Amino acid sequence: MGTQYLRRTETARPTQARAHNRSLVLQHLFQSGPESRAELARSTGLTRVTMSALVDELLSEGLVQELGSEEPSGKVGKRGTLVGLSEDRWCIPAVNLTNDGSITGAILTPSGQITHRFREPHPLPGGNEGIEELATFCRALISHADSRILGLGVSSPGIINGEGFIEQAPNRGWYEVPLADILRERLGVEVHVANDANCLALAEYSFGGAAGDELLTIVVGQGLGAGLVAAGTLIQGAENAAGEIGHVTAMDNRDLPNSDLGAPQTCACGRTGCLETLMSETALREFTDGLDPGARDRVLAAIGTRLGIVLAPIVATLNVADIVASGPEALLAGSLLEACAREIRERTLPRSHRTLRVRLSKLGSDGGLRGAAVLVLSGRLGIA
Ligand SMILES: [Zn+2]
């Protein structure tokens, strides 16, 4: 058996160094906004000569633009010409398929601002029909782009590999679907497809005010999934199935005597008592429809407790600082997330949860779209 060593930072070859430096500059402009060449050199640790050549190269490709100069307030001397991402020359169309009742799309600027929105207020059909309809939706979306398309990003439920190949999205009846390839061929633009919870993790990490480098996102829609950033990197897992917490058993028959939730139910995956049977959007509505406020809170707290039981070992293992939920806010906010946080605290050491925040995503329903845009930035420019 071979020995495997931990990955180490190696001395980069010249071509790697160039690509690395390019993404370093683009990433910095993405996070900090426009800066002069001298400031960029200082903040990235590159020499002024290297920076000047890099900026010239990015200018000629139209990825960055010169934005005039700004007098620094209260300082002597003139600030150099500012360089920023080319907001007007490039755009990123993005699609979110999380909600089974509608398809949402948007066109975003390279810094993640939404300029146009689109919504198809009916469910995407399953199987091949759904792929056809998605292609039609995307074609209409990109026809509204008024600048060059950097790439199309798609955020979808399911187990999806790094090439945008959907290994399985059972709720939609998609198995072994090379979705990125299909859309790329049909639309003639670069396409990136990733799991919706992973997209939300990218969006939260880039735009959502995450406290640290460890972040877990929970996406409640047709199903339930999680996305994980650890040490500042999106974790895909050995089989691209990192974050598939929806099918962790969260209830069994031993829970029955004290349960507000009734008997464990059969899941779409064929097993019983999966977290998804309690916490998909449909399940949450079925559990709470018609209840008076007191009973509703009790049921939501019971579901939140189950979520906390599933999440506590993850918090203890990775020392996650932020758990961010996205989905039907009226059902998630309040009792459910509060019970979840309480349960995690009860089950872990104080050191593990001292800085933990369990909250709703501030990005709202735009999280998936903005994450799909970060996916494109990451795939095309090395930004994320
Ligand atoms: Zn299941």
User: What is the CA(277)–ligand 1 centre distance, in A?
Assistant: 7
Instruction: Write out the DSSP string of 45-82.
Output: T--HHHHHHHHHHHHHTTSEEEEEE-PPTT-SS---EE
State the pairing for strand pair 90-96/64-69. Answer: unpaired
Distance (Å) from CA 257 to ligand 1 centroid: 23
What is the pLDDT, as a whole number, of residue 74? 52
Sign of CA dihedral 136, 138, 139, 144: positive
The rounded Å distance from CA 222 to ligand 1 centre is: 13
List, for residues 357-383, the tens digit of each pLDDT value. Answer: 999 998 877 889 999 998 998 888 776
Categorize the per-residue pLDDT at 73 as very low, low, confident or very high, splitting at 50, 70 and 90.
low
Cα of 249 from ligand 1 centre, angstroms: 8
Out of 78-87, 196-205, 309-318, the most confident range is 309-318
pLDDT digits (tens, 9 = 90+) for 250-275: 988 776 656 788 889 999 889 999 99
Helices (H), the chain: 14-32, 37-44, 48-60, 127-143, 179-187, 196-207, 276-279, 281-288, 293-318, 329-332, 335-347, 350-353, 367-381
User: 261 CA to middle of ligand 1, Å?
Assistant: 17
What 3-state class would DSSP assign to 315? helix
- Report the mean per-residue pLDDT for the chain: 89
At 185 the pLDDT is 97
Q: What is the dihedral of CA 135, 139, 140, 142, to 10 degrees?
A: 130
pLDDT: which is higher, 180 or 17: 180
Distance CA 383, CA 82 (A): 20
How far, in Å, is the centroid of ligand 1 from the Cα of 255?
18
Residue 226 near residue 243, CB atoms below 8 Å: yes
Within 10 A of 83 (CB to CB), how many other CB atoms are there? 22
Residue 316 sits at the vertex; the CA angle it makes with 336 and 355, to the nearest 5 degrees, is 70
Whole-angstrom distance, CA of residue 307 vs CA of residue 146: 43
Q: Does the pLDDT of residue 135 top 80, yes or no?
A: yes
CB 133 within 8 A of CB 124: yes
Least confident of 74-78, 112-116, 153-157, 368-372: 74-78
C-alpha 328 to ligand 1 mean position (Å): 20
Percent of the chain's residues with pLDDT above 70: 92
CB atoms within 10 A of CB 123: 15
Distance, in Å, from the CA atom of 280 to the CA atom of 284, rounded to the nearest integer, reads 6
* DSSP state letter for 102: -
Phi-psi region of 238 (alpha: psi -120 to 50; beta: other; left: phi over 0): alpha
Q: Which residues pair with 119 in a beta bridge?
A: 104
The reported pLDDT for the residue numbered 379 is 83
| pTM metric for this prediction | 0.84
Nearest C-alpha neighbor of 356 from the set 308, 294, 290, 301: 308
CA of 248 to the centre of ligand 1 (A): 7
Gap from CA of 282 to ligand 1 centroid (Å): 14
Give me ligand 1 centre to Cα 329, in Å.
23
How high is the pLDDT of residue 373? 92
Measured between alpha carbons, how far is 18 from 210 in angstroms, rounded to an integer?
A: 29
Token code pair at residue 274: 């999966």
190-242 pLDDT per residue, tens: 999 999 999 999 889 888 777 778 999 999 988 899 999 998 888 989 998 99
Rg (CA), the chain: 23
Token couple for 250: 């969260």
Amino acid at 270: G
How do strand 64-69 and strand 81-85 relate by DSSP bridges? antiparallel
Half-sphere exposure of 191 (CA within 13 A, CB side): 24
The pLDDT score that the predictor gives to residue 28 is: 83
Q: For 22-31, 193-202, 333-342, which range has the lowest pLDDT when averaged over its residues? A: 22-31
CA of 247 to the centre of ligand 1 (A): 4
pLDDT band at residue 99 using 50, 70 and 90 as cut-offs: confident
Q: How close is the Cα of 128 to the center of ligand 1, in Å?
A: 24
Query: If you measure from the C-alpha of residue 265 to the centroid of ligand 1, how many angstroms do you get, rounded to a whole number?
Result: 10
